[in-house]
Structures are given as structure tokens and as C-alpha cells.
Amino acid sequence: MTSSSQLSERESYYSELGNHSLAPLWASLARLVPPSPQPSAQAFAWKYAEIRQHLLTAGKLITAEEAERRVLVLENPSLAGQSRITDTLYAGLQLILPGEVAPAHRHVQSALRFAIEGEGAYTAVNGERVSMSPGDFIITPAWTWHDHGSESSGPVVWLDGLDVPFIDFLKAGFREQYEHASQIAHRSEGEARLRFGSGMLGPSDKPTNSSPLFKYPYDQTKAALALIAKTEEIDAHRGFEIRYINPTTGGDALPTISAGMRLLPDGFKTAPYRSTDGSVIVLVEGSLRATVAGKEITLSPKDVVAIPAWASVTLEASGETVLFNFSDAPVHQKLGLWREERS
Ligand code: 1HN
């Protein structure tokens, strides 16, 4: 037993240590080295039907040009003010209105876009413009020029996912503004697909950190999933699943974020699953009842869910259900940290 006089002696010793920029490890060791992951983020769902009106209000208050990016950040309630959806990922919903331009810039943070609502907007990446339709997956690799614009007659919304918290942790952030609002298109739409989506590379093509194929259209993703669902056995913990890959390496499309699409047949209930990567789900089609870290969540299409690291997940589908998900798994895998548990 430690006497109260010993305890108070220690306390005054610790505060004296603080005056010398010293700290006793034994007071923080258990927190620094936990027996299992202790994310700060909580399981949380954003209902699109509720967010949409706030996005449209933003559309009345500020232009895309003035905002640079008119985005409502999906901020995990346990990480208020930190622009994070999980401990390590950023996510937000971006709105662009007819005729607007979100000006061109580049940064070292890697970004993904998942198109949610509306047709007729485009994003341009390194001189190639591609159109965005709901369900399309588009990446903006680190340090690539990118701008967005809309020739639509209505609002267009997509979800942005970025590795912002990682770059912030590393204090490695750089950005640059392009000299014009929009990039001059020096490639025609579909060039990247023709060049890198055919399963062929040229003799001087080297493996790249991020996928040079930067748009993955939903109709192809959906057709591939449907075929897999017909021909392969379902994974009891995950459902049918495919990932967006970098065709030059076979690895994930981005070096820090993996993303993919899953299909759960009507009535399918997944067995409990957890992994060390924190992740985000966007429901695309169907309806889901999810249990995440013991919290029950009901999801309709376009709703977004934050899944903290090591949180146990079960999903139950009503109707054939398609869900998009992305996570920081590549970072865990590259560092040899990634674990999963199937129970
Ligand atoms: C960014 O560049 C975009 O280009 C969206 O659309 C969201 C969040 C943080 C940092 C950069 C975009 C972003 C962002």
C-alpha cells in the first residue's frame, strides 16, 4: 500500500518534473501501450435526408469559388473541431451548383470522391475532365491538380474522403493554387481509362504510388459485383466484396486509403467482424441494420457511418444491398499492423 503522504510526495515530485520538461513514464505507460486499440472516435451515422438541407443552405450562403470547397465536414462527435470522421480519416459532403467552379489546386493529401446525388458535374485531374454520376468512385492522387465544376441543372453532391489526419500527424503538408480557376483540359475524357484500364502497360510505364486510372464508374462496379454474387461463395463476415485497385501494382488505388464496394443479398446477416483499420460506409442501394461497437444503426441510401478501429460490426440487409466503404487499411498493412477478427 502506498500511504497518502507518499502519494502527495509523488504528486509534488511530478509537478516539479513538469517544470523541467520531464514526465514519469509509469504514469502514462498503460495509456500509451494499450492491450487493444482504443479509438477516440465513436460509431456514428449521418442521415443524408437531414444533412441535405444544411448543404443546400450553404449553397445559398457561399459560392463554391469563395469557399474554395463548399463542404460540410462529417465530424465525429467524439472528435469535435478536429475535422475527422474516424481517428485517422477525413470525410465531408461537397456541394456544387449549376455553373459553379471549385478552383484548381493540388496538395499532398490523397483524396477520393464518391458521387452521391445529381448528374452533370465533373472533376478534372491532371488535365483530364471526367463526369460524375451517383455511385462513381474517383480519386485525386497526392499532388495532382484538381478542380470541379458543374454544367448540371441541379445540385450535385459527393462525399470526399482524405488522409488529412495522417499528413497532419506527419506535419508533411504542402499545397499550391493553380494559376487559373479551371485547368486547361489537355486530355480528352476517357484517356486514362483507355491507357490504364485495358490491362496493358507500355515498356516505360512504372508501378505508381496511386492508380493512374482515376475514375471507376458505378455501372462497371455494379456489373462486376453482380457477376461475383452469381459465381462465387459469399464471405460470411463481409458479403460479396471488391476493391478499387491500382492497375500498375494490384494494390489499393491510393497509398493510404483502400476503398471498395460490397453486396449483401436480401436478408443476409453478416457474422461479427472487426479489424484494426477505421472505416466509413456509405449505403448505396437497399437498406441496412448495422450494429457497430454495440450501437444499433438503421441506414437508408446515401447515409454515412463511421466505424472506429477495432469496433465489432454486423450488418443485416433488407433488399439487395450495395455499400461503398473506405478505410486506412493500407497504412496498417504497410506498417505490418493490420489485424482482423472473425467471430
Ligand atoms: C480538397 O482539396 C477537396 O479538392 C475536398 O474537393 C475536401 C478537405 C481537406 C483538404 C482538401 C477537393 C478537402 C480538400
The string of DSSP codes covering 230-265 is: HHSPPBTTTBEEEE-B-TTTSSBSSSS-EEEEEEE-
Supply 50's cell numbers.
437531414
pLDDT, mean of residues 59-71: 97
pLDDT tens digits for range 224-273: 999 999 999 999 999 999 999 999 999 999 999 999 999 999 999 999 99
Distance separating alpha carbons of residues 146 and 154, to the nearest angstrom: 22
pLDDT tens per residue, range 117-144:
999 999 999 999 999 999 999 999 999 9
For ligand 1, atom 6, name the residue with the nearest CA: 69
| Nearest atom of ligand 1 to the alpha carbon of 147 | 4
pLDDT tops 90 at residue 25: yes
Q: Where are the beta strands (DSSP E) in 20-134?
A: 44-46, 71-73, 90-96, 101-107, 111-117, 121-125, 128-132
146 C-beta closer than 6 A to ligand 1: yes
Contacts of residue 3, Cβ cutoff 8 Å, sequence gap at least 6: none
* Prediction pTM value: 0.96
Looking at residues 186-211, what average pLDDT do you find?
95
Cα(261) to centroid of ligand 1, in Å? Answer: 22
C-alpha to C-alpha distances, 304 to 70, 96, 140, 249, 284, nearest whole angstrom: 18, 19, 21, 30, 10
Residue bearing cell 486530355: 187
Asked whether 264 and 323 are in contact (CB, 8 A), the reply is yes
Q: Strand order in 175-177's β-sheet?
A: 128-132, 121-125, 146-150, 101-107, 175-177
Assign 3-state DSSP to the chain and report helix, strand, coil percentages, each to 5. 20, 35, 45
* Residue 1 reports pLDDT greater than 80: no
Total length of the chain:
343
Average pLDDT over residues 304-311: 98
Over residues 12-31, the mean pLDDT reads 96
CA of 112 to the centre of ligand 1 (A): 9
